Amino acid sequence: MRDKVLGVLLGLAAGALMMTSCAKAPLKKTQTQVTGAKSVKIVFIPKNTGNPYFDSLINGFKKASEEQGCEFSTVAPATAEATSQLPFIKEQMQRGVNVLAICPNSPDALNQVFKEARSKGIIVLTVNADLPGNEEYRDACVLPMDFNLTGRSQVELMGSLIDYKGKIALLSATTDAPDQNFWIKGMKEALKEPKYQGMKLAEIAYGNDDPQKSLTECEALLTKYPDLRGIIAPTTVAIAAAAQCVETAKKAPTVQVTGLGTPNQMRRFIKNGTVTAFALWSPYDEGYLSAYLAVGLATKKIEPEPGGLFSVPRLGERKFAEKNVVVTGPPVVFTKQNIEEYHF
């Protein structure tokens, strides 16, 4: 499996390219006042509370905010429904944040509130999920990898585990989740390729990024499809629940579970053989990069423009791709061979 490792999370360019982000920025009348990095107030709103994935991302945000001397806070709804973040966004606008960093629970339900925030001079930065088709409602977006590659790489990973043959199911997050839905589109496209014609997608189930609901949905899949060969769970919540469910049902290795998971939540299942391989990236680096970008945008030291470059301490140079998307990267496939190197 070593050769399946797509890259390494850590050990990215270690250059100390500190950004000087304390200069005064010209103020428009409507704009929230910002005079330098130390005056920037960032809030990050993840999809929901209680997900260790976002704890890592928040730790990255915190570290980079400390380094820059800016204010960082985080609030989140208990559940990941399309509009559950709305009251939190409004409250933070009232509080006078300069940067609203958010992992949106919907690709379009927040358009109006984002528009309002931006009209007040607040930078809207989508982090970890974007607004496909509605990118004009945010200033820039930080994604952990090129999302155009995520779906296909998940199908390839599953294929390699089941010899490219058999019935598979997807266990996703919410029906509205912009990130998972984008990846699922990529998976469906990939499944049309000749290489994957032996793999049949039986069903897409939704666990709402809720551990209990994900577990129940997984149990239903096992009952409904006795000949199921694999479950792709492209969410750290559902993959952990699916591994638990397959372990309890003693269905491994006939049913292969893969997807996107955190090494800490998946370690036990990799070690006892319930799961052979799964993927992810570094949510910590993603948060770290986002905080540097947030301050750069708020102080106007960084102008979002496709092709534009900026530097982040420890991570090195990053480029704005089309639609001002910045990718943290790289993804990694975790197996028995490398899982001990990762602790998050």
Structure tokens that stand for 193 in this block: 């390729």
Contacting positions for ligand RAM (CB under 6 A):
47, 51, 53, 103, 128-129, 173, 179, 209, 235-237, 260
Contacts of 193 (CB under 8 A, 6+ apart): none
Short-list 170, 160, 178, CA closest to 239:
170
Closest distance of CB 309 from ligand RAM, Å? 25
C-beta separation of 154 from 130 below 8 A: no
Q: Which is nearer to ligand RAM, 42 or 237 (CB)?
A: 237
Structure tokens that stand for 34 in this block: 């910002």
Q: Which is nearer to ligand RAM, 37 or 327 (CB)?
A: 327
Q: Which is nearer to ligand RAM, 98 or 128 (CB)?
A: 128
Q: Which is nearer to ligand RAM, 206 or 320 (CB)?
A: 206
Closest distance of CB 324 from ligand RAM, Å? 19
C-beta separation of 92 from 124 below 8 A: no
* Position closest to ligand RAM via CB: 53
Closest distance of CB 154 from ligand RAM, Å? 11
Closest distance of CB 214 from ligand RAM, Å? 10
Q: Which is nearer to ligand RAM, 235 or 324 (CB)?
A: 235
Closest distance of CB 179 from ligand RAM, Å? 5
**CA dist., res. 260 & res. 332, Å (int):** 10
Q: Which is nearer to ligand RAM, 34 or 155 (CB)?
A: 155
Contacts of 132 (CB under 8 A, 6+ apart): 107, 178, 181, 182
Closest distance of CB 105 from ligand RAM, Å? 9
Closest distance of CB 233 from ligand RAM, Å? 9
Q: Which is nearer to ligand RAM, 139 or 179 (CB)?
A: 179
